[in-house]
Amino acid sequence: MSINILFIHSAGVQSGDEGSAPFVRYLRQRLGPKYNIIAPIMPGLDEPSYKKWKPALEKHLNSSSPAILIGHSLGGSILLKYLSEEQPLIAAVGLFIVAAPFWGSEDWDVEEFLLRDNFFSFLADTLKIYLYQSQDDDVIPAEHFSRYIKAIPTAEVRRSDGYGHTFKDGLPELVKDIENLSELSLE
């Protein structure tokens, strides 16, 4: 039986070598058939909004019953917003946030993406949270990562270098963390 992973992508086009598409291909290749990676294309890629993404996210959380959630860039911030505001009863044991913007930071002030105050306290206690950022990310400033580290004190923090924002060549630390969490929690 395979382990379901729900991957919520970044903003923009998600095909070929654009957006999160190469990252998803890498994860499928490295994790293999033991993991079923569900990576739906969210609505309104060119003009993403929480209002548009929320129903799609609900649908996939309910239909695939994922054990692991991965959010890349905008997908990470939307997962955190949804999970902290809606507090769904889900079977997920791991939440992996990769290069996510922290809305409300300088030049990143889009109200519909803002997290509620003390959002961490509204996340399920059973959810193990991991944060990833590459030091050479040219899209999301390092300050965003620092704010997530402060806001989620129990998170496992993984700083890397050389992956940029899109992680086109993968993220071995993420693969290792997923496999380790699976061994501890899902088998």
Plot region of 75 (φ>0 → left; ψ -120 to 50 → alpha; else → beta): alpha
Q: How far apart are CA 79 and CA 66, in angstroms?
A: 13
- Contact criterion met (CB below 8 Å) for 62 and 55: no
pLDDT along the chain (187 residues), means of 10: 93 92 97 96 91 94 89 97 93 95 88 94 94 97 96 97 94 96 77
- Residues 6 or more apart whose CB falls under 8 angstroms from that of 173 comprise 132, 158, 160
Q: How far apart are CA 148 and CA 67, in angstroms?
A: 22
pLDDT value at residue 187: 57
Phi, psi of 35 (to 5 degrees): -120, 135
Specify the amino acid at residue 5.
I
pLDDT value at residue 63: 81
Q: Provide the residue range defining the domain that includes 27.
A: 3-185
Q: How far apart are CA 105 and CA 97, in angstroms?
A: 17
Single pTM value for the model: 0.96
pLDDT value at residue 186: 65
pLDDT value at residue 162: 94
CATH of the domain at 112: 3.40.50.1820
pLDDT value at residue 116: 94
Structural domain count of the chain: 1
